[in-house]
Amino acid sequence: MRYSRQLLRLAALPVAISLLAGCSGGLFGEGDEAGPIVVGTTDSVTSLDPSAAYDAGSWAIISTLHQGLMTFEPSGSTPVPDAAKECSFTDDKTLKTFRCELRDGLKFSNGDKLTAEDVKFSFERVRSYYEKNKQGGPWPVLGTLDTVEAEGDAVVVFHLATPDATWPYKLASAAGVIVDKDAYPDGKALEGDDVVGSGPYVLKSYDAGKSAVLERNANYKGAFEVQNDAVTIKYYESPDKLLAAWKDGGLDAVSRDLPAKAYRDIEDNPESDVRVAALKGSSVRHMVFNVKDGSRVKSPAIRKAIAALVDRQAIARNVHFRTVDPLYSLIPAGVAGHTTAFYDRLPRTDPAEAQKILAEAGIATPVTFTLAYRKDAGFEEETKVLVKQLEQNDLFKVELDPRGDDFFDMVNAGKTDAFTVGWLPDFPDPGTYVSPVVGKGNTFNNGYSSPKVNELIKRTEKVSARTRTLSDNTAIDDEVAKDLPLLPLYQSKDYTLTTDHILGGEKLLDSTGAWRVWELSRE
């Protein structure tokens, strides 16, 4: 699923912990008693245009302003109709034709009627943007789509190039949201913030990198009952700045992310007027290698030596205060298909073994390579520890490339030898951790493609009973661990904090990857 500072939450249910000790002030402020509900986050928004965005922060706000044909109920993993009245495969055996009938009376926020032609335009536009720009946007999620047709105003039919049992899930993700064909350009991103959608909210004002003001969309007809009239999202450059704002009492809720130590302190000292919702296994973090010609980590021996130097346990313990768990699989623990392939296939953390691997391959040391990371997302300390591990025994010399809002442009352009990145699910299915990451035309644009992995991915997409994909996902994990185009580092919890007068915080984040600010209300 998507980039994150950060990163299915299939088997992980939100755990709400009410900590209402009756103290005032202290670490957590009480927030305002009226007006918009104010939510703070360190997520960043790269684009307000659904065809151009494929990162956690952008998808979060896009999903509040737009709707798709399908969606997920809170804490549910089954797609249900949203803009559609009903949807289904026309043939359960081939899984190549999917038909949806729209609800009656749908309108965009500007008053335009929402029709099947708008749906057709929206999906074709995601493809045309990707093809024209050769990168970017959520097309890797929708890549099994062949053609889409509109039958009158109310019926849309998707014809898939290959069987895809996950197509309903993809429609329910932000990759499948609908835009007004008369308000959006084709082949390029929308300029400015004049967003036209049919989702729960309209965008009343937007200050890039600082705030977004959302108001309830009176034209919305869909699966959700909006619990508030307005939400203000405030964006912060770092977890420390978000924590400072939370302490000052200017926020009603916090979602992704405070410093790890703050979460540990909250769990260890639960005496504050705050409600905490913790979701285990929600996001993963990888170190991704550029395996294209010219990359300084193209050699498998170099990547294997790097793997022998990385100490996940130390990162989890010393940097993240055990709010994350070491990960040895593409798929996180708790999700069908999780294995320990990267533990079984690769050497244990051992500098001597790393040195031996490089020597046997005839590779002179130190090996110099570039490592990019998000400097504005709280990963400075993690990166320092990782670099210290890699430069043991002078085997590697790491040239750091700290990035800000241009991080995803760098990733799309493939301009670094390696980078660390978080990954969140597109939809609640194991495939969301696999196909976009290591499949053909993967969103990391790191040059990796494996015929065997691609064939296994196609096989999993033909299986409507998703639990029956276990063996193929296990085989994919093993093959990728052998090829090593990336190295899983850890999986983490997602926390949502709300002051004691805000309800619905436990629904804000769930197994679907959505950001449900419409579930928040005042007590």
Q: What is the pLDDT of residues 351-393, one digit of tens each?
A: 999 999 999 999 999 999 999 998 866 688 999 999 999 999 9
Q: Are 107 and 218 in contact (CB under 8 A)?
A: no
pLDDT tops 50 at residue 195: yes
Mean pLDDT of 21-47: 66
The confidence band for 1, taking pLDDT boundaries of 50, 70 and 90, is: very low
Weakest-pLDDT range from 102-106, 132-136, 290-294, 359-363: 132-136
Mean pLDDT of 78-84: 95
pLDDT tops 50 at residue 200: yes
Q: Are 515 and 173 in contact (CB under 8 A)?
A: no
Within 418-469, residue ranges assigned H as helices are: 435-438, 451-461
User: What pLDDT shows up at residue 20?
Assistant: 33
The confidence band for 264, taking pLDDT boundaries of 50, 70 and 90, is: confident
Summarised one tens digit per residue, pLDDT across range 413-471 is 888 999 999 988 888 888 889 998 999 888 899 999 999 999 999 999 888 877 788 89
Angle CA(136)–CA(142)–CA(147) in degrees, nearest 5? 115
pTM of the entire structure? 0.79
Q: Are 492 and 476 in contact (CB under 8 A)?
A: no
User: What pLDDT shows up at residue 511?
Assistant: 66
pLDDT tops 80 at residue 475: yes
Q: What's the half-sphere exposure (Cβ side, CA atoms, 13 Å) at 275?
A: 21
Burial class (CB in 10 A: 0-12, 13-18, 19+), 161: exposed
Within 104-238, residue ranges assigned H as helices are: 116-133, 139-142, 167-171
Q: Provide CB contacts within 8 A for 28, sequence distance 6+.
A: 246, 247, 249, 272, 273, 274, 497, 499
pLDDT tops 80 at residue 224: yes
Domains and CATH numbers, the chain: 37-235+500-522 (3.40.190.10), 280-493 (3.10.105.10)
The confidence band for 22, taking pLDDT boundaries of 50, 70 and 90, is: very low
pLDDT tops 60 at residue 394: yes
Mean pLDDT of 284-290: 97
User: What pLDDT shows up at residue 136?
Assistant: 78
Grouping H, G, I as helix, E, B as strand and the rest as coil, residue 397 is strand
Q: What's the half-sphere exposure (Cβ side, CA atoms, 13 Å) at 447?
A: 18
Return d(Cα 418, Cα 401) in angstroms, integer. 10
CA 133 from centroid of its chain's CA atoms: 21
pLDDT tops 60 at residue 33: no
Weakest-pLDDT range from 118-122, 160-164, 358-362: 160-164
Tell me the CA distances in angstroms from 231 to 35, 58, 178, 251, 449, one per residue in order: 9, 16, 22, 11, 42
Q: Provide CB contacts within 8 A for 219, sequence distance 6+.
A: 107, 108, 109, 111, 198
Top pLDDT among 335 and 209 is at 209
Mean pLDDT of 474-501: 94
The confidence band for 109, taking pLDDT boundaries of 50, 70 and 90, is: very high
Mean pLDDT of 7-31: 35
User: What pLDDT shows up at residue 272?
Assistant: 66
User: What pLDDT shows up at residue 21?
Assistant: 33
The confidence band for 281, taking pLDDT boundaries of 50, 70 and 90, is: low
Mean pLDDT of 123-133: 94
Weakest-pLDDT range from 126-135, 145-154, 275-284: 275-284
Average of per-residue pLDDT values in the chain = 89
- Counting residues of the chain whose pLDDT is more than 70, the rounded percentage is 91
Sign of the alpha-carbon torsion through 382, 15, 220, 82: positive
Highest mean pLDDT among 166-170, 281-285, 396-400: 396-400
Mean pLDDT of 220-230: 96
Phi and psi at residue 376, to the nearest 5°: -100, 20
Return d(Cα 363, Cα 352) in angstroms, integer. 15
Give which of 263, 259, 264 is closest to 241, Cα–Cα: 259
> Residue 174 carries which DSSP code?
G
Burial code (b: 16+ CB inside 10 Å, e: under 16) for 288-324 equals bbbbeeebbbbbbbbbbbbbbbbbbeebbeebbbebb
Mean pLDDT of 478-493: 95
User: What pLDDT shows up at residue 271?
Assistant: 56
Return d(Cα 342, Cα 385) in angstroms, integer. 20
Long-range contacts of range 61-64, CB-CB < 8 Å, 24 or more positions apart? 61/203, 61/212, 61/233, 61/515, 62/174, 62/177, 63/174, 63/177, 63/199, 63/514, 63/515, 64/199, 64/200, 64/201, 64/214, 64/231, 64/515, 64/517, 64/518
Mean pLDDT of 28-40: 69
